[in-house]
């Protein structure tokens, strides 16, 4: 019975689910854009801050969703696009890929004067920046009343249908304004893949794994015989 119990534990460990976090610095708790690339078509950009105002124009925000830092877009001209991008590579085996993030969109004057632009958007790109899918948005959320920052909204979705194993992609957040200023805030970005079983080990590691299993069962067998004696 002890041998059977040991075998059950061994097989259960081998077949256990594996979870992989594919995003680094998703909460921006390094205090900077480590792991991310920010770009802009104008005088603004995404940057990391802990303040409850935007770094360039001083517009009010709700601050970080959790922890001490978050990323936010800001600009002076109100007619440009800023992007925040991170590359990731999928594992060789996965069954789900749960993307989640917290995001706010503040259209600073849109409530009084009409939409200031497309607003915030989240896209999945291939490894050279080609669009695969728009995962969220574009969203333009007026501040009501003007000057009152909007709260974060949670996004969570299984995007496994868009992904292939062992492939590199880019996750991109964008902020686009055309006639007036829009601030987009991002925090707690996560992309977790899970597999129902562990991938097949490489030959060398597989041999070591099997050898370890045989040793466990042999020791259990010897202990069992010693107790019977």
Look up the domain containing 148 and give its range.
18-196
Same domain, 80 and 127: yes
Same domain, 141 and 162: yes
Name the one residue in this structure whose structure tokens are 């409850």. 52
Question: Is residue 165's pLDDT more than 90?
Answer: yes
Assigned domain for 59 exists:
yes
Question: Is residue 217's pLDDT more than 80?
Answer: no
Nearest to 160 by CA among 202, 113, 193, 185: 193
Cα 225-226-229 angle, rounded to 5 deg = 90
Same domain, 149 and 67: yes
Assigned domain for 155 exists:
yes
Same domain, 49 and 161: yes
Same domain, 163 and 61: yes
Q: How far is it, in rounded angstroms, from Cα 226 to Cα 200?
A: 35
Assigned domain for 34 exists:
yes
Assigned domain for 152 exists:
yes
Same domain, 119 and 10: no
- Count structural domains, the chain: 2
Q: How many residues does the chain have?
A: 229
Q: Considering Cα of 177, then 74, then 84, then 25, what sign does the dihedral take?
A: negative
Same domain, 28 and 128: yes
- 47-90: per-residue pLDDT in tens? 999 999 999 999 999 999 999 999 999 999 889 999 999 999 99
Give me the CATH number covering residue 186: 2.60.120.260
Q: What is the pLDDT of residue 109?
A: 84
| DSSP 8-state symbol, 161 | G
């Amino acid at each position: 019975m002890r041998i059977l119990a040991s075998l059950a534990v061994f097989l259960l460990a081998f077949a256990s689910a594996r979870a992989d976090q594919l995003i680094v610095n998703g909460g921006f708790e390094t205090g900077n854009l480590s792991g991310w690339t920010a770009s802009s078509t104008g005088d603004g950009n995404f940057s990391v801050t802990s303040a409850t105002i935007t770094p360039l124009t001083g517009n009010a925000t709700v601050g970080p969703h959790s922890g001490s830092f978050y990323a936010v877009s800001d600009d002076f001209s109100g007619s440009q696009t800023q992007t925040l991008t991170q590359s990731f590579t999928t594992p060789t085996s996965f069954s789900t890929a749960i993307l989640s993030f917290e995001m706010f969109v503040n259209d600073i004057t849109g409530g009084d004067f009409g939409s200031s632009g497309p607003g915030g958007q989240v896209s999945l790109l291939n490894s050279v920046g080609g669009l695969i899918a728009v995962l969220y948005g574009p969203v333009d959320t007026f501040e009501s009343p003007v000057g009152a920052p909007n709260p974060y909204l949670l996004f969570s979705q299984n995007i496994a249908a868009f992904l292939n194993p062992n492939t590199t992609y880019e996750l991109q957040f964008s902020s686009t304004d055309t006639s007036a200023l829009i601030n987009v805030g991002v925090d707690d970005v996560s992309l977790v893949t899970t597999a129902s079983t562990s991938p097949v080990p490489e030959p060398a590691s597989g041999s070591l794994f099997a050898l370890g299993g045989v040793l466990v069962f042999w020791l259990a067998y010897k202990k069992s015989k010693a107790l019977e004696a």
